[in-house]
Amino acid sequence: MRFFNAGRQEKLSSKPKRSENLCPFREVSALRSFPLPAAGAVVPAAVFTAIVVLAMGVGTRAKDAVATTATNLALGRPYTISAYWPDPLFTEMQKAYPDTEGKELTDGKKASVQYSDPGWQVFTRQAGRRIQVDLGKLAVIKEVRARFLQSRSVGVYVPRRVTLYTSADGQKWVHAGEQATQVGPWNPRVQVEEFSFRGLDAEPASRAASTARYVAIEFPVDVMVFMDELEVFGVPLSEEEKAAYVPAGAVANVPMAVPMPREEVSPEHPAGYAAAGSPAAAGARHIVLATYAYPPNETLGRWTARDYLPYVAYLSEDGKPQDWMFDSILLAPQGSTPSGRGLVGDKPGAAANMEDWQWLLDETFMPGHQLDALQEAAHQAKQALGDPDYKVKVFLTLVYPSPFQNAFGDLDGDGVPESFAWSDPKVGPEKALENRVAAVKWLLDEYLRRWQEKQYPDLELVGFWWHRESILFQNSPNDDELVRQVADLVHQAGYKFIWIPYYGAAGSYDWWEYGFDAAILQPNYMFADVGRERLELAARIARTLGMGIEMEKHWLGGWNELQKWIDYLAAGVEQRYMQEAVIGYYQNYKDFGEASHSDIGTRRLYYDFVYQFIKGTYVPIKLPGMN
């Protein structure tokens, strides 16, 4: 959840903090000052070394000797590395482990299992990588090996899969195989996994794949992937064999298998933004996140009708409704609970249980606050604007059932609390998944039951938001399947399922694979030390992959934050997401509403400009002294 750091709760102020979306940026300072960081903690090198265990390949990955006539044809050969979605920040982060002279992946030197070993090459986010090596000559390829490190405690994960391609000319390629990980990014054991593609020349049907000069592998990069070597064992063709060679079965020039939402979509032929008002987004155009349910400060976390009115309606300076404002309200719990456990808890003992989820339900339907208050604000606006048929769209939040929770609560009435701990041999991955899905179903059913009881006449429940901002492949063997099954539950109930991943988040580049109807991308420009090109990059990704864009207001109010806010607004015009896309709006607690009542300068920047943006009439400005 964005409001609290996934690894540690912020206590510096009562303001909500980004969490998961800070993950890639937390890693920057650590990457620049060796050793590498954790996904939530930093493990001292001495402690880390003490727990290191070496485990070479598993199952079919076992390192067997190849034919004595085969040699490593990739040794010392040049290669290229391409990111699926290049990004300057993530590229900079990788420089802590430089690839000396561009040869370390084919120098024949294997790294140790210590993540600080400079023999490892680092790949950070950017969706995935393609590594292509030129063997210099046509050869019969017998085996291809690629080695990766799994070190979960420091955020280094083996790729979920590796795909192999071969080519005789570097232009036309053969899909020569794909292997799923046998170790898994969820594995807590420090080890090496070697993906080995063997027997490529064993059958006549595979000769097109086995005779090649170029070999390429591709793999997803969810957070950080460490790789030390790419080996290609084979036998060069003789002059007679080269003369007789006839390429077959190759496919025309597909440089990278970048995931796309539809077959006809490509970076050159983008899908277009998730359209404002589209059925996939339940007709929503402008969705504001209303942060609520904050035990440390109930005034901040509980909304009244007065709080909601400037969101539902555009208010004049004297507080009177003039027009409709945000058409959709997303009730976004900030993450902490009265028990001290977290709705995003990713450690044993820190994850929310059924009692905490019950508290969230009670907060959501609290008499006189939250949804009750939103209903009253909508009613007041409808009367003032004379629009009796208008309804405010509502999205509610489905909380992530943490696999670190081993006693969630008794869902089935047998007196035994359900466990989500897949690594517990008494539970196992399949039963843990079943229990996790059952918990979300209970929450969904409770939302719907209470909504029906309330019968809000001026509100329309249209969908549910998935609370976590990345697909947590590292948390369990089936976190992706968890999301798919939750999507099925939402769809069976007749609602839309939306997601707002942070920039570079695992799963964000193939968001449609997990059952979401719509995804809105966080640029995270406001919260990172990056240039304005981030807004352009985020817009290009969203436009290509059919996503919406999130506008992000900082909880701070300094000059830098103000300039960035103006940049967001300008980019909306320049990149056309103001005109075309479904937009999400992130804010501090009630910020836009407070701006509506504040001095004219603040009101104009954070309320009047937002209204103009919603209406599509905003014209970019430059304030005095701004770049």
Over range 446-461, report the average pLDDT.
98
- pLDDT averaged over every residue in the chain: 88
What does the pLDDT read at residue 302? 97
Confidence of residue 6 (pLDDT cuts 50, 70, 90): very low
Q: Quick check: bond before 35 cis, omega within 30?
A: yes
What is the β-pairing status of strands 71-72 and 211-221?
A: unpaired
How large is the angle between the packed helices 371-385 and 428-454, nearest 10 degrees?
A: 40
What does the pLDDT read at residue 100? 84
Name the nearest CA neighbour of 467 among 366, 335, 349. 335
**pLDDT of 26 higher than 50:** no
What does the pLDDT read at residue 357? 98
- What's the rounded Cα separation, in Å, for the pair 520 and 340? 30
Over range 38-55, report the average pLDDT.
34
Backbone φ, ψ for residue 30 (5° rounding): -70, -40
Name the nearest CA neighbour of 229 among 95, 144, 104. 104
Name the nearest CA neighbour of 469 among 332, 590, 577. 332
Backbone φ, ψ for residue 376 (5° rounding): -65, -40
- What's the rounded Cα separation, in Å, for the pair 256 and 127? 12
Query: Considering only 25-39, 332-346, 481-495, which range has the smallest mean pLDDT?
Result: 25-39
Over range 617-626, report the average pLDDT.
84
What does the pLDDT read at residue 13? 33
- What's the rounded Cα separation, in Å, for the pair 563 and 560? 5
Query: Considering only 5-9, 284-288, 529-533, 556-560, which range has the smallest mean pLDDT?
Result: 5-9
**pLDDT of 67 higher than 50:** no
* Residue 535 C-alpha from the chain's centroid: 17
For 155-218, give the DSSP string.
TB---SEEEEEEESSSSEEEEEEEEE-SS-TT--S-EEEEEEEE-TTSSGGGHHHHEEEEEEEE
3-class secondary structure, 330: strand
Contact (Cβ atoms closer than 8 angstroms) between residue 603 and residue 539? no
Confidence of residue 627 (pLDDT cuts 50, 70, 90): low
Tens of pLDDT, residues 538-575: 999 999 999 999 999 998 888 899 999 999 999 999 99
**pLDDT of 28 higher than 80:** no
DSSP letter at 74 equals: T
Confidence of residue 624 (pLDDT cuts 50, 70, 90): confident
**pLDDT of 623 higher than 90:** no
What does the pLDDT read at residue 201? 79
Tens of pLDDT, residues 278-298: 999 999 999 999 999 999 999
DSSP letter at 289 equals: E
What is the β-pairing status of strands 161-167 and 172-180?
A: antiparallel
What does the pLDDT read at residue 129? 97
Over pLDDT 90: what percentage of the chain?
78
**pLDDT of 361 higher than 60:** yes
Tens of pLDDT, residues 214-243: 999 999 999 999 999 999 999 999 888 888
Give the type of residue at 81: I
Place of tokens 């509506």: 596
Regarding pTM above 0.75, the answer is yes
- What's the rounded Cα separation, in Å, for the pair 528 and 111? 32
- What's the rounded Cα separation, in Å, for the pair 130 and 81? 6
